[in-house]
Structure 1
């Protein structure tokens, strides 16, 4: 590979998605003949940025428009007022933002970074790419055409790069070698591969907690299983505030792990669960993560590292096309990985939620060509999941936290039920089981004073962060029916009213005003937005006269927009007498000053 020059690829990621996307972009730069590292922004020596000519930045937006933890120092440096406006005149760049359009500050970090780099004299090769998690195609809807356009613009500086030829090159991140072993050597207790050997991530402070309780909060005849899981620290008190989240990285089920190795066995591929994996650096700009630097068994990798429940992206099919020697399957993989094949990919993968394992069964001739090098690029890594903490740390000496988890199980056109990886793993945990996780600042930030009224809207498991706040205010003896107003919704009062006894007790003791919407307990469906409309006068008074805050938590699909519409039409227009335009403007101003905050998923 001749090598054209250097392209810096930096990422700021809260859930490791930005890192994975940055590595995908890095593979393209390597295939084209460029060099340059892919790093977290805070790992990069930012003083060297003035010498860079080309860079790509991939950054997620977190919280209320906040930058991720591994970007904070980088961003703080860029905001220095004493930086000359010509600091980055050599730099030609592109920014990819990762966001969720259900939040008001959609891709706020990507937009700000793009603008700040220009203020410092850098030249954008292309406009900022605003990826939206809510899109049918996910981030790829924007990422794929954005990447194509970026490298097309790069030909103005490097006319000889062969963009089309690069698609036929397989660029592994690391050198991966299997070490055969005796079956008995692999029969040992599997520890956590990320933190179990005393390893530590610079951006994560791991906690080893023990499951104390795992209780179903819905009735046994209800269609959905929701769990209230209590995790306990046996070492030191936990430190968290209402609104904070607990991050946890799940494990694949034994059924899926067995299925993977059955594919290898069926196709006579010599990859056994007890073999060990040696991962070594093969590019100076792609170091091996610390947790992979010690040989792990394939069973450990299959259980804890590869996401066996993930549905394959179009990129996965481009990799399968490279290894397939069956014309029919190869042509289909090429089609499913092409821009023209996006609708076919949606219908085959995304809409029915077909997993990577199911794809390998379908493309069984291509699966015979799998190697350990290909597998390491084919499977995405298991991402941590974030759950709002549903308790206060002012009880049990601050050693416990609760999670309110809806176990994901549903059906698509495929015969086998679709199971959420993390929720079903959490469901399987028994008292005494130990798990690693870490506490992070959450999206919702509650006022410190105990006087300001709170309008809390949390249907279903959206109750979690609101319960944390309620418990804390009750413990502090500052909760009253005048300053705590909770709108809760579920299907049936007697089947899925989470934490019912606790909430009704708060209401009885006049520590809470409770407004419940049970959508299926009567002929006409009643949702939280209907309860907002019914109590519009009270809400108008709380917002306008008492400067109340609004906190909305729950499913991102339809509920947030319906709640927003109820505030505009029923509270601000019907009661407040505003026009619809002014009502929307009032709601927007509340969001802008964080008097209305939203946490959805």
Structure 2
């Protein structure tokens, strides 16, 4: 069978813009193969046209407790309409790429739901769903690259004249870019505006607030290795915020002066004529890849380097394919080609991902290739800075909608490289000073607390996992509903006197009998004690709360080992030991509680 059109739509649902970037990568392949069709957020696509589409590729992330991203909600709601005939999409052949993280219990839940629903509406999958896992050594690419290759091979059944042999040999820019080398703004005018919101631009689904830093204090002792910040943002009286316990604060970080200066020093050292005050004109060159609103006004290269390009990102294999494209040094070009090839994935892992080497460090290492960079390649070389999400750590009620607190662990660690690895967002937040202005927005969180305020709540939040529970506790205290029989907080850290966040506040609430607090200080004694050990210690009380009082369980914090260890403690020490259940029954009970929404997890 051969179609009479070469239209292929690529629709994405993205919470952190990763799905959008994947969709744009696929779009490059569609252009090389001469397919036509839009690349759009699902909610931006005119869904009434869907029944006419013959070929579609969907890229979607999963958020919260298995929820769809904001820019997919309208699309998904339409697909769920009961009055849609079962043959609505009978013309469509499709593929679904799901982007997820297997450390979450509802791994790729949205992608799986979408794949199933499309089949229910009569569409035919060209391939089984791609379940991409960020936890894999290769990240999402471990599944994405071979799956995408197979997808376009399947498309050849319908378009036999298309060949996939050239997929990795052509450079397809998203937009046409050119430099405006005016000398009028060398003094730095307008270099500190926010490129996303300075002109009143807004994302369709975001309610953005202009905030001022009121406080930025360290909650850990100066001698402690980990710097954790409690940061308070203040709004204006006419721009109050509205949020509930469990909600999320989003903010887009900026690059450091050190990294920005390094970038322009690289340009200078190679005599690349790109100056901070030059402006970049971005114009449309493909009908199906419109220029975003905030890029339509020419921006200075400084603004792009500060706010748009992620200078601390770890370079993908695509970065090395771009360097190979411009390099005229055989040794470097061959190495870049190897690092960008499927056969060179292990070398790419060892060079780039495992040591967390940044894209700027790569430009230093491959200096001969770097010297040949053009503005067209540079613009595609860097991925964009993505917004970061933080659980709100305060109650909206206590400040009457004028303040937001977040609790931030500053990321600094060492790999085999000499220079420390620094998290972009946390180190930028750390350096914010009182009075600094930023833009941020609030999103409804995934944690849902019981409407019956007398229902006991077991809150397990070691480290910065305390944040959403501090919001809840403050909220209930303000309403006069906080009580030690209702709020049971399990907090863990290393040392009682070094990293016990909000210590005085929590101990005061205990004294006032508004909170029951169970602390695990892992390094204050020879044997390490974690929150799961405290769960075992108080297993009898917890069984009574869960079995007799209908308590809810909430887990918040680092996704690495803690959530699984806590689950095991409830299964083995609470349900099995105290509930007299065998292991299978105990696991079934935990699963049942989770299905009913009485166990909820928010980890990062």
The answer to whether TM tops 0.5 is yes
What TM-score, normalized to structure 1?
0.98
1:325 offset after TM fit, Å? 2.0
> In the aligned structure 1, how far is the partner of 2:377 from the partner of 2:5?
26
1:484-563 map, 5 Å:
484-563=487-566
Residue 329 (str. 1) matches residue 332 (str. 2): yes
Partner SS for 2:400 = helix
The worse-fitting range, judged by mean Cα deviation, of 250-259 and 367-376 is: 367-376
Q: Which residue of 2 aligns with 1:65?
A: 66
Residue 480 (str. 1) matches residue 486 (str. 2): no
Partner SS for 2:29 = helix
1:183 offset after TM fit, Å? 6.1
Q: Is the 8 A contact 1:104 1:591 kept in 2?
A: no
Q: Is the 8 A contact 2:175 2:291 kept in 1?
A: yes
1:449 offset after TM fit, Å? 1.9
Partner SS for 1:288 = coil
Q: Is the 8 A contact 1:553 1:599 kept in 2?
A: yes
Q: Is the 8 A contact 2:398 2:474 kept in 1?
A: no
> In the aligned structure 2, how far is the partner of 1:369 from the partner of 1:512?
63
> In the aligned structure 2, how far is the partner of 1:9 from the partner of 1:540?
49
Q: Deviations over 1:485-537 (max 9, x none)?
A: 00000000000000000001111111111000000000000000000010111
Q: Which residue of 1 aligns with 2:213?
A: 211
> In the aligned structure 2, how far is the partner of 1:79 from the partner of 1:298?
45
1:415-430 map, 5 Å:
415-430=418-433
1:365 offset after TM fit, Å? 1.1
Q: Which residue of 2 aligns with 1:446?
A: 449
1:171-190 map, 5 Å:
171-182=172-183, 184-185=185-186, 187-189=188-190, 190=192
The worse-fitting range, judged by mean Cα deviation, of 430-439 and 59-68 is: 59-68
> In the aligned structure 2, how far is the partner of 1:133 from the partner of 1:597?
21
Q: Deviations over 1:178-208 (max 9, x none)?
A: 0002164451241100011111111111100
1:115-194 map, 5 Å:
115-182=116-183, 184-185=185-186, 187-189=188-190, 190-194=192-196
Q: Which residue of 2 aligns with 1:221?
A: 223
Residue 567 (str. 1) matches residue 570 (str. 2): yes
Q: Deviations over 1:263-310 (max 9, x none)?
A: 111111111110000000000000000000000000000000000000
Q: Which residue of 2 aligns with 1:457?
A: 460
1:448 offset after TM fit, Å? 2.0
Q: Which residue of 2 aligns with 1:230?
A: 232
The worse-fitting range, judged by mean Cα deviation, of 326-335 and 236-245 is: 326-335
Q: Which residue of 1 aligns with 2:317?
A: 314
1:339 offset after TM fit, Å? 2.1
The worse-fitting range, judged by mean Cα deviation, of 224-233 and 366-375 is: 366-375
Residue 411 (str. 1) matches residue 436 (str. 2): no
Q: Which residue of 2 aligns with 1:243?
A: 246
Q: Deviations over 1:3-61 (max 9, x none)?
A: 97111000011111111110011111101111111000011001111111111000111
Q: Which residue of 2 aligns with 1:275?
A: 278
Residue 338 (str. 1) matches residue 351 (str. 2): no
For 1:358, which of 354, 357, 361 is the aligned residue? Answer: 361
Partner SS for 1:398 = coil
Q: Deviations over 1:103-153 (max 9, x none)?
A: 221111100100111111110001111112222221111111111111111
Partner SS for 2:177 = strand
Q: Is the 8 A contact 2:156 2:163 kept in 1?
A: no
> In the aligned structure 1, how far is the partner of 2:147 from the partner of 2:582?
40
What TM-score, normalized to structure 2?
0.98
Partner SS for 1:396 = coil
> In the aligned structure 1, how far is the partner of 2:597 from the partner of 2:243?
21
1:340 offset after TM fit, Å? 2.2
1:237 offset after TM fit, Å? 2.1
The worse-fitting range, judged by mean Cα deviation, of 364-373 and 205-214 is: 364-373
> In the aligned structure 2, how far is the partner of 1:166 from the partner of 1:101?
29
1:323 offset after TM fit, Å? 2.0
Alignment: residue pair count = 599
> In the aligned structure 2, how far is the partner of 1:307 from the partner of 1:183?
27
Q: Deviations over 1:383-414 (max 9, x none)?
A: 00000000001112220010100011111110
Q: Which residue of 1 aligns with 2:13?
A: 12
Partner SS for 2:66 = coil
Q: Is the 8 A contact 2:226 2:409 kept in 1?
A: yes
Q: Which residue of 2 aligns with 1:46?
A: 47
> In the aligned structure 1, how far is the partner of 2:257 from the partner of 2:306?
8
The worse-fitting range, judged by mean Cα deviation, of 229-238 and 317-326 is: 317-326
TM-align CA RMSD: 1.1
> In the aligned structure 1, how far is the partner of 2:135 from the partner of 2:166?
32
Q: Is the 8 A contact 1:457 1:551 kept in 2?
A: yes
1:354 offset after TM fit, Å? 0.3
Partner SS for 1:401 = strand
Q: Which residue of 2 aligns with 1:197?
A: 199
Note the residue ranges of structure 2 that are not aligned, 5 or more in a row. Answer: none
1:473 offset after TM fit, Å? 0.7
> In the aligned structure 1, how far is the partner of 2:578 from the partner of 2:181?
73
Q: Deviations over 1:343-369 (max 9, x none)?
A: 211111111110000011111111112
1:447 offset after TM fit, Å? 1.3
Partner SS for 2:509 = helix
1:64 offset after TM fit, Å? 1.0
Note the residue ranges of structure 1 that are not aligned, 5 or more in a row. Answer: none
